[in-house]
Homo-oligomer: A and B are copies of this chain.
């Protein structure tokens, strides 16, 4: 029997407790030992839970219990999760977390502590919920040099964008619907401003390229400025707008990483990933493109990924899974102004003036565009140069209404 503790009894935490109970037999068959939930840490009371006798409000009950070999952290947020996880690892317990904020902020440090203590720190559920992605990248694709990872990493924004594309809903209405359906939080900023997707691409980039990428190193744009007009221009260009987290390996060893809404060509495997689903494309030098698709959030999908990590910890109590990256200071990251992209631009101007400023451009024709408005796609240019050209265009009387990157996906 292996004793585990669960810190947090919210949506994911209660799902973990549920799966460890309902799937006991299957888990036993896989490990050869029973997993016993010895403590559940939560400040709230759960008198009706079948595990009511396991609850504690005192973290020290877990930390000081030498029988507890694996601790699950599903509290979310940085505090006190960071402190608790660090103490657990330092006391020789393996830790499993679904907390992307924690991993994105402190992954390198926590992995180093785990290495020093010869325990495991696993976080499959932190990216893509129930979609296997951390283990496939670190194990299945180990014989590949990863050239690129690009994904729809946030279900809330994907739901909103899908509603705008499929049903012609305005952004605000789609956001409200997402909130009513429970896909979006009351304070949706972390989702719609791209921070959640940013944390996830940071974790994947750190894993694939071996150096910690902190979220503040990454140019991040959300979807709050996307309008139905943009959605229709995208459609006219045989694309859909998706919020993409993307990291590419460059020839000089640096990486080009960004979170931003992008025009995704209809023929791309990422174009058909709709509503609350996530999809992640990993391009390996040997495998070519491999795509992983599924529900990126939700109680049981996320909890099942947590439990898979718990199982892995239980099987590796004496050996460490090799999952590691070094700390990073951002020196391997291309400044975002130098990142090359084609750009969709919608502006009140003339095609002739746009052409004069941008050189070769590709006009997007769409029925019933407002008078005096044009939309076009630039050539591949460094982002900084595009910004300069937009300023030049505006200095000559034009008004740029929106700009969205063209995803090379």
Contacts and interface: CB of A to CB of B under 8 A. Distances in A.
B294 A293 contact: no
Nearest to A210: B29
A312 interface: yes
Interface centre among A27, A135, A140, A144 (most CB of B within 10 A): A140
Contacts of A140: 124, 132, 135-136, 305, 308
B295 A293 contact: no
A135 B141 CA distance: 11
Interface string A125-149: 0000011100110011111110000
A198 to B, nearest CB: 24
A354 interface: no
A164 to B, nearest CB: 19
The A interface, classified by DSSP as helix, strand, loop or mixed, is mixed
A143 B307 contact: yes
A311 B285 CA distance: 17
Interface in A144-194: 144-145
Interface stretch (A78-86, A226-234, A296-304, A327-335): A296-304
A346 B290 CA distance: 37
A294 B290 contact: yes
Contact of A304 (B132, B210, B286, B306): B286
Contacts of A139: 132, 135, 308, 311-312
A19 B304 contact: no
A287 B295 contact: yes
A261 to B, nearest CB: 22
A142 B23 CA distance: 9
Contacts of A27: 142-143
Nearest to A138: B30
A247 B171 CA distance: 41
B291 A292 contact: yes
Nearest to A20: B143
A269 interface: yes
Contacts of A307: 142-143
Contacts of A142: 26-27, 30, 307-308, 311
Contacts of A303: 143, 286
Nearest to A305: B140
B311 A143 contact: yes
Contact of A290 (B132, B287, B322): B132
Q: Which 5 A-B pairs have the closest CB atoms?
A: A132-B140, A143-B307, A286-B304, A130-B287, A290-B294
25 contacts: A19-B143, A19-B286, A23-B145, A26-B143, A26-B145, A29-B210, A30-B142, A31-B322, A124-B140, A132-B132, A136-B140, A140-B305, A141-B304, A143-B311, A269-B272, A286-B301, A287-B294, A287-B295, A287-B300, A287-B301, A290-B293, A291-B291, A292-B293, A293-B293, A319-B319
Given A135-B139, A143-B311, A291-B294, 14 more contacts: A19-B143, A30-B142, A131-B287, A132-B132, A132-B290, A140-B308, A143-B303, A144-B304, A269-B293, A286-B301, A287-B304, A288-B298, A289-B294, A293-B293
Interface of A: 15, 19, 23, 26-27, 29-32, 124, 130-132, 135-136, 139-145, 210, 269, 272, 284-295, 298, 300-301, 303-308, 311-312, 315, 319, 322
